[in-house]
Each structure stands twice: as C-alpha cells, then as structure tokens.
Amino acid sequence: MRNELLALHNKARQSVQNGQLVGQPIAVSIKPLKWNVELEAKAQILSDQCRVGHDTNDDRKIPAFQYVGQNWAGAKDINTGFQLWLDEYKNYDFYTRTCRMGQCGSLYSDTTEDTTDVGCGVTNCPNFPYGLSIVCNYGLCKSLIRSFSFT
C-alpha cells in the first residue's frame, strides 16, 4: 500500500511538472514526495475510525512539521480515492487563483511544491458505505494558504 500511494502521488506531481494537467501551468520546481511513517501513523488513526471527514491539525501534527495538510476519501479502492483528489484540478484556475465550486482543498496538499512528505492510512470498513477509508497527511514546509506554490 505504501509504495502504491507514494507512486500515485509522485506520478501526479510529475504530471504537474510536465504540464499535463489541462489549464494548469508547468511546475518546474516540484519534487517527488518522501514517505513519512509518522504522518502515516497519524493518518491510520483517523482511517481506522471509518468515518467521513478530517481530524484537526493538532490531531495530525508531528514534531517534524508545524503544518500538516490532509486528504480524506471514501472509495472502493485506492486508485479511485486518489483520482477524486487529483480531479479537483479541473475546478482550479491557476491564473486567477480561484477555485470553482469550492472543491480544491485536496489538490493543494497533493501538488504544491511546499509539500515534501506524505504518509497515508487505509482501512477496509465493512459497515462503511464507501468501502475504504483513505487518509493521507502531508508535511508542508510552510502554511498551506489555499494557492498553488510552484514556479
């Protein structure tokens, strides 16, 4: 699971770097993410709760990062959950730095150059309408201010 989720994240970041997200600019300075077991452990705690939504920043904070972003998805499989996050790029206008329909929160953590580390938890929730609870936490170099940060 770790390798699969890390590969999905880094493939998405490579797409941003190569200008393959329609309507979004090329991000020449974006780097691959590293897996972080502390972020993973915090994500797993929330995932194991088999509930919809996020926890608080204090719940997910670790010593290495003052700021920790988070994505949550309920989905039948990891690929579907991740694609839900990535597809949010269609709602974001990079040039005006606005989000259509207020649906861009997941994309910020995935694709900003300020994100350096990721750790995810996945739980099969038998009584959950979505199947899997998927949570990824992101170590950020600075506060995520709701705009993409890359050059």
Of 85, 65, 70, the residue nearest 140 (C-alpha) = 65
- Residue 148 domain-assigned (yes or no): no
- Residue 114 domain-assigned (yes or no): yes
pLDDT in tens, 4-19: 999 999 998 888 888 8
- Residue 151 domain-assigned (yes or no): no
* 9 φ/ψ angles, rounded to the nearest 5 degrees: -60, -45
The pTM (predicted TM-score) of the whole model is 0.86
Report whether pLDDT(106) > 60: no
pLDDT of residue 103: 67
pLDDT of residue 145: 46
User: Residue 110: pLDDT band by 50, 70, 90 thresholds?
Assistant: low
> Average of pLDDT values for 101-105?
62
pLDDT of residue 66: 85
Report whether pLDDT(147) > 50: no
Domain holding 108, by residue range, is 2-17+30-140
Q: How many percent of the chain have pLDDT more than 70?
A: 83
Between 42 and 82, the higher pLDDT residue: 42
- Residue 150 domain-assigned (yes or no): no
- Residue 41 domain-assigned (yes or no): yes
CATH number, domain containing residue 98: 3.40.33.10
> Strands of 132-140's sheet, edge to edge?
34-35, 115-124, 132-140, 67-75
Determine contact, residues 68/137, Cβ cutoff 8 Å: yes
- Residue 147 domain-assigned (yes or no): no
Report whether pLDDT(146) > 50: no
- Residue 145 domain-assigned (yes or no): no
- C-alpha 87/C-alpha 92 separation (Å) is 10
- Residue 96 domain-assigned (yes or no): yes
> Average of pLDDT values for 21-46?
89
Average pLDDT, whole number, for the chain? 84
For the chain, how many structural domains are there in total? 1
Of 142, 132, 146, 105, the residue nearest 43 (C-alpha) = 132
- C-alpha 109/C-alpha 74 separation (Å) is 17
Between 122 and 99, the higher pLDDT residue: 122
